[in-house]
Amino acid sequence: MTQSKHVGGVVVPLVTPFDHNGDLAAENARGLIGHLLDLGVHGFYVGGSTGEGFFQSADERCEYMQFVSEVVDGRGLLIAQVGAFSVREVHQLAKFAADVGYDIVSSTPPTYFTYTDAELVEYYRHLAEVSQIPVLLYNVPGMAGRSLSIATQVEMLKLPNVIGSKHTDMNFFSAERLLREVPDAAIFNGPDEMLTGGLAMGMVGGIGSTYNLMPRRYLGIYEAVRSGDMDGARRSQATVNDVTQELLNLSPGVVPGIKFGLKLLGYDLGEARRPFLPITQDTSRFEALLRNSEGMR
């Protein structure tokens, strides 16, 4: 990892663009990436849940990783989410990420089967040994289907070449314990709705889906907390939470909603891949809140 790059800040989990046939259309993301960089976001998290990484082939994931790296061209922190059902594929993706200039690889825990804590620790130990760049854990109990104990997370964070964790968990008690037990770990806040709280606790930054839609607001929260303006941070948090609450009310869910919102803002990256379905309900309240949050008429 380039020493000049700060591990922290507002890191956008980038969406993946598809054309009307559902095929990867990487070039369609160029404008969005440039816009986000111009606003001052600190980096991108590629291939995660928001990026529909698990819906793509390894070749598609590599193609998009390389495209994003070329467009960013060293102007921000690059984190590649390489989790997959096949551990061999995970390691292949991690190697490719290092080869095309990523700074960090991240991975969801292995899913589907119920693995023991020892197996999960070994999974990350092996990835950290294989990876040529640092590893960021990804604690996401809502998607992984299980919660990791504090002791297990501490053990993982102390593994060689593990740099920190993306803490997508509403359990801030465990986050506080991790920050105390492994004070040098780079813990990123995952729940968009709680960025102010996470930063106030000492997290290095945040990685959240709605950063795609409201980057100015999240950058404002980050800077407000850093400068000690907690009232300002809370006000901005309330604004983004109004939008997020309405987004969560949309069916079929967050990923289609993020792409719908981006289209409203002028960035058409296609629809989410099946089995997600297009949004068909009334979106007028969501649209009004989103436009207001971004200062648009």
Q: Which residues have a Cβ under 8 Å from the Cβ of 117 and sit 6 or more positions away?
A: 148, 149, 152
Q: Which residue has the tokens 């102007």?
A: 75
Distance CA 246, CA 260 (A): 13
- Residue of 166, 211, 259, 267 with catalytic role: 166
Please tell me the distance from the alpha carbon of residue 2 to that of residue 10, in angstroms, as a whole number: 18
Helix (H) or strand (E) holding 154: helix 150-157
Q: For the chain, how many residues are written?
A: 297
DSSP 49: T
Catalytic residue among 123, 124, 138, 267: 138
Between 87-99 and 117-130, two packed helices, what is the crossing angle to 10 degrees? 30
> What SS3 state is found at 148?
coil
Other C-beta atoms within 10 Å of 245: how many? 12
Say how far apart CA 104 and CA 91 lie, in whole Å.
13
Does residue 166 have an active-site annotation?
A: yes
46 to each of 13, 218, 240, how far by Cα in Å? 6, 18, 22
Q: Which amino acid is at 96?
A: F
Residues belonging to the active site? 138, 166
